[in-house]
Amino acid sequence: MKDFWKRFSQNRGAVVGLVILLLVVILSIVAPFIFTKSPWAMVQRPFIPPFTMDAFVLGTDPMGRDLAAGLAHGARVSLLVGLVSTVVSLLIGIPIGAIAGYFGGWVDDLLMRFTEFFQSVPSFALAVVLVAIFQPSIYSIVISIAVVSWPPVARLLRGEVMSLRSREFVEAAVLSGQTHSTIIWRQILPNTISPIIVLASMMVAAAILIESSLSFLGLGDRNIMSWGYIIGAGRTVIRQAWWVSFFPGLAILLTVLALNLVGEGLNDALNPRLARKGR
Partner 1 sequence: MLRFISGRLLKAVVILICITVLNFFLIHAAPGDPAAVMAGEAGDADPAFLQQLRERFGLDKPLYMQLWIYVSSVVQLDLGYSYRQQLPVLQLIGERLPATLLLSLSAFVISLGLGVAAGAFASARQGKWADTIISLVALIFYATPLFWLALMGVLLFSVQLGWLPGFGYETVGANYTGLARAIDIFMHLILPAMTLGLFFMAVYARMTRASMLEVGRLDFVKTAKAKGLRPGVIQRRHVLRNALLPVVTLAGLQAGQLVGGAVLIETVFAWPGIGRLMFDALSQRDYNLLLGVFVVSAAMVLLFNLITDVLYRLVDPRIKVTS
- Does residue 126 interact with partner 1 by CB under 8 A? yes
Among 94, 207, 261, 266, binds partner 1 (CB under 8 A): 261
Distance CA 244, CA 250 (A): 11
- Does residue 278 interact with partner 1 by CB under 8 A? yes
Which segment (42-50, 190-198, 237-245, 268-276) binds partner 1 by CB under 8 A? 237-245
Which segment (26-34, 99-107, 122-130, 183-191) binds partner 1 by CB under 8 A? 122-130
Among 29, 63, 91, 238, binds partner 1 (CB under 8 A): 238
Distance CA 157, CA 168 (A): 19
For 203-235, letters b (16+ CB in 10 Å) and e give bbbbbbbbbbbbbbbebbbeebbbbbbbbbbbe
Looking at residue 182, its amino acid is T
Here's the x/- map for partner 1, 149-188, by CB under 8 A: it reads as ----------------------------------------
- Does residue 123 interact with partner 1 by CB under 8 A? yes
Which segment (66-74, 90-98, 157-165, 254-262) binds partner 1 by CB under 8 A? 254-262
Which segment (45-53, 84-92, 100-108, 230-238) binds partner 1 by CB under 8 A? 230-238
- Does residue 11 interact with partner 1 by CB under 8 A? no
Cα–Cα–Cα angle for 179, 180, 186, nearest 5°?
A: 85
Distance CA 25, CA 271 (A): 26
Burial class (CB in 10 A: 0-12, 13-18, 19+), 25: middle
Distance CA 146, CA 157 (A): 16
- Does residue 24 interact with partner 1 by CB under 8 A? no
- Does residue 252 interact with partner 1 by CB under 8 A? yes
Among 173, 184, 205, 266, binds partner 1 (CB under 8 A): 205
Q: Write out the DSSP string of 236-269.
A: TTTTT-HHHHHHHHHHHHHHHHHHHHHHHHHHHH
| Dihedral sign computed on CA atoms, order 48, 50, 54, 60 | positive
Among 188, 203, 204, 209, binds partner 1 (CB under 8 A): 209
- H/E segment holding residue 107: helix 105-120
Per CB under 8 A, residues contacting partner 1 are 13, 117, 119-130, 132-135, 205, 209, 212-213, 216-219, 228, 231, 235, 238-239, 242, 245-246, 248-249, 252-254, 256-257, 260-261, 277-278
